[in-house]
Amino acid sequence: MVTGAANGIGRAIVDRFLADGYSVAGVDLAEDDLGAMATELDADRFHPVVADISNRAEVSAAVHVAVERFGRLDVLAANAAIADADPFLEIEDRSWLRIIDVNVNGAFYCIQEAARAMTRTGGGAIVVTSSTNSWFVESNLAHYNASKGAVIALMRSAALDLAGFNIRVNAVEPSMVKTRAAFITKDPDGAADYLKRVPLGRFAEPAEVAAAVAFLASEQAAYITGQTLVLDGGLTLGIELPLPQSALPGSARAEGLDGA
């Protein structure tokens, strides 16, 4: 089961899971986009489910549909999320609550309802899409940053509590990915400025995030749980500094000990 399946990273995860041989229930609010996917993909292996993950009843129903359609639930990619941008002093309650409702409550509902299904069939794997914003925060995104930090704590808690049921829970943390929500990637000037801080010099592709999700969901990651996999092109490694024009005080070069 993949949430946020109709676009961006979610769509890439669906495509990757199908390529890896899974049958997939794709969950999204975008009914038209899901319908278009259903016409493109193998109807025997892809089943669209329209649901709002911020509504527990709809999440529970979506899990039930997935199990009814395919017989069991082995993997959940809890990917769906929303974002907004506001200066900190101008964030309204409705914006804050909406992001928390979808990104945190929605992730909790999805993880819990999927785990309940997995306990009946011997376990499974859950991969949550978080973000480097969970700890490497960006301005004007306090509500989004906070939600992604909460998702990591939730993931780790679930991993600890569900390990006894043979359910692994991990997360991916992308930085900027080429999706419709990543507005900076479509701004020529903003993109060029942002990429100056990315050692690999480019934005991530949705398929690259999907590959990381697929790894964490696979048997290759059978002994990995409660972990985060960062996909940021080196963005958060550190700060590049210019080389000093002269030797620094106390250094070998400054003391003439460099063999010159």
Does residue 207 sit within a domain?
A: yes
pLDDT at 257: 62
Strand partners, 134: none
Instruction: Report the alpha-carbon distance of residue 192 to residue 184 in Å, rounded.
Output: 9
pLDDT digits (tens, 9 = 90+) for 15-33: 999 999 999 999 999 999 9
Q: Which of 72, 17, 80, 24 is nearest to 49 (CA)?
A: 24
Does residue 115 sit within a domain?
A: yes
Does residue 258 sit within a domain?
A: no
Q: How many domains does the chain have?
A: 1
Instruction: Report the alpha-carbon distance of residue 133 to residue 146 in Å, rounded.
Output: 8
User: Which tokens go with 58?
Assistant: 């709809």
Q: What is the pTM of this model?
A: 0.93
Q: Which of 94, 95, 73 is nearest to 86 (CA)?
A: 95
Q: What is the DSSP letter of 244?
A: P
Domain hosting residue 144, numbered range? 2-231
Does residue 240 sit within a domain?
A: no
Does residue 259 sit within a domain?
A: no
Q: What is the DSSP letter of 94?
A: H
Q: 8, 181 in Cβ contact below 8 A?
A: yes
Does residue 244 sit within a domain?
A: no
User: Given the structure tokens 């489910």, which residue do they identify?
Assistant: 49
Q: Which residue has the higher pLDDT, 240 or 212?
A: 212
Among 109, 144, 194, 223, the active-site one is 144
Q: Is 144 a residue of the active site? A: yes
Strand 2-3 with 124-129, pairing: unpaired
Does residue 239 sit within a domain?
A: no
What is the band of 44 on the pLDDT scale with cuts at 50, 70, 90? very high
* String of DSSP letters for 64-91: HHHHHHHS---EEEE---------GGG-
Does residue 186 sit within a domain?
A: yes
What is the band of 258 on the pLDDT scale with cuts at 50, 70, 90? low
Instruction: Report the alpha-carbon distance of residue 59 to residue 27 in Å, rounded.
Output: 9
Q: Which residue has the higher pLDDT, 249 or 183?
A: 249
* String of DSSP letters for 116-179: HHHHTTT-EEEEEE--GGGTS--TT-HHHHHHHHHHHHHHHHHHHHHGGGTEEEEEEEESSBSS
What is the band of 259 on the pLDDT scale with cuts at 50, 70, 90? low
pLDDT at 250: 85
Which secondary structure element, helix H or strand E, spans residue 108, and what is its range? Answer: helix 106-119
pLDDT digits (tens, 9 = 90+) for 84-109: 999 999 999 999 999 999 999 999 99
pLDDT digits (tens, 9 = 90+) for 140-195: 999 999 999 999 999 999 999 999 999 999 999 999 998 877 777 887 888 998 89
Question: In this structure, what CATH number is given to the domain that contains residue 161?
Answer: 3.40.50.720
